[in-house]
Amino acid sequence: MTNLSVLFHYTSRASWELISSARKIEPLSYAADHMDGEFPLIWLTDSLEATDSGIADPSRGEIRIAVRPRAGIFYWPVWGKLCPNQERMDCWGDPASWYVARDQIASSDWQEVVDQTAQAQLYSDGKTPAEVSAWGSAPNAADLNRIRMSLERAQKTQEAQIQAASAEAGWDLFRAQRVGLQVEEIETLMRTESGGQRLRAGWRSLLDEVTALPGYTDVRGTGTV
């Protein structure tokens, strides 16, 4: 993992020509099977090795586009807990280095573009790398405890609705259980990442999901910088 707060999108020279012309990276991958349905994603990694991104075709690692932190990018090990096919997806590359974006990434968010085969820089915005704080705060134990309390309230509410024969509530309860797995992933990151990019991006991913739960208590902004 890089020490800088930056992500990379790998692509082929042919695809780079299209990206360069459009001045944006478009979400085109339907590989992740999210429980909210099928929608396209952009895959990114914090690794300088293209193979860590799960690329099987070497040509797809010819071009490396460095992307700055921005809203709408989520950490896969946390976000992917809501994807039933996460375990199958994780068989490729280094999933601990993966991130996903649902929206296009415009050239204004690019930091650098490098042709890795030719060892040539194709683009640079000339700016210094972003600080890791660009991802927002990192969580603390109190933050996670608040989320656990919200999950417990949500599960009790949904269990009561299940007893009242609400089929939809069963799906919501399953979602609450999956969010519980996201919390566990954040706990692991807190032990291993020490406030770094992965932890902060994972925390942002969890907060994006947990706000939709019934009985949720807002904990945004309570983490440590």
Residue 220 lies in a domain: no
Chosen domain end from 130, 152, 182: 130
Number of domains in the chain: 2
Q: Which residue has the higher pLDDT, 34 or 194?
A: 34
pLDDT score of 34 more than 60: yes
Residue 119 is predicted with a pLDDT of 94
pLDDT in tens, 137-176: 899 999 888 888 878 877 776 666 655 555 554 556 778 7
Residue 225 is predicted with a pLDDT of 36
Helices (H), 111-166: 141-163
Chosen domain end from 108, 130, 152: 130
Task: Specify the pTM.
Answer: 0.87
Q: What is the mean pLDDT of the chain?
A: 86
Q: Are the C-beta atoms of residues 158 and 173 closer than 8 Å to each other?
A: yes
* Ramachandran quadrant class, 91 (left: phi over 0; alpha: psi -120 to 50; beta: rest): alpha
Claim to verify: residue 70 and residue 99 sit in the same structural domain: yes
What would the mean pLDDT of 4-20 be, rounded to a whole number? Answer: 93
Residue 115 is predicted with a pLDDT of 97
pLDDT in tens, 168-213: 545 567 787 888 899 999 999 999 887 789 999 999 999 988 876 6
Residue 1 lies in a domain: no
Residue 165's domain comprises: 135-210
Claim to verify: residue 25 and residue 115 sit in the same structural domain: yes
Chosen domain end from 130, 158, 183: 130
pLDDT in tens, 93-138: 899 999 999 999 999 999 999 999 999 999 999 998 888 888 888 9
